[in-house]
Structure 1
Amino acid sequence: MNLTERELAVVRAAAKGLTNVEIAARLYISASTAKAHLAAAQRKLGVRNRVETTAWAWKNGLMDGG
């Protein structure tokens, strides 16, 4: 896994159920940039959607349970 720090942050936020707009506001980026980071991360991880992204994040210990 060679995700950038920003991609990891976006994956964590998406796994918590945030929308692209909410992720963008939290990370001080545009919604289209959040969407692009998520898409890049999903390509690198070999997952197809937010559900698989969330499962990957939990399986790989990216979530703190909160």
Structure 2
Amino acid sequence: RTNQEICDGLFLSLSTVKTYLARIQAKLKARNRVEVAAWAWEHGAVHPER
């Protein structure tokens, strides 16, 4: 999802979403959000939609 879609769905400001994503990326030592998504998939944090 885009940052805007995330903030709309969670009722957060755009800057909050950007901050959260940057912190997650830093904690995972990921280079980009694709690597964050790959980590989430590999660790069972996301599931394919049914």
TM-score of the aligned structures, taking structure 2 as reference length: 0.90
Equivalent AA in structure 2 for residue 22 of structure 1: E
Q: Structure 1 length as normaliser, TM-score?
A: 0.70
* One-letter identity of the residue aligned with 1:56: W
Deviation at 1:65, TM superposition (A): 1.1
Give runs of ≥4 in structure 1 deviating > 2 Å.
Answer: none
The 1-side partners of 2:47 and 2:35 are apart by 18
CA distance in 1 between partners of 2:14 and 2:5 (Å): 8
Aligned to 1:35: 18
Larger radius of gyration: 2
Percent of aligned positions that are identical: 49
Quote the RMSD (CA, aligned, Å): 0.7
Q: Structure 1 stretches of 5 or more lacking a match?
A: 1-17
Aligned length: 49
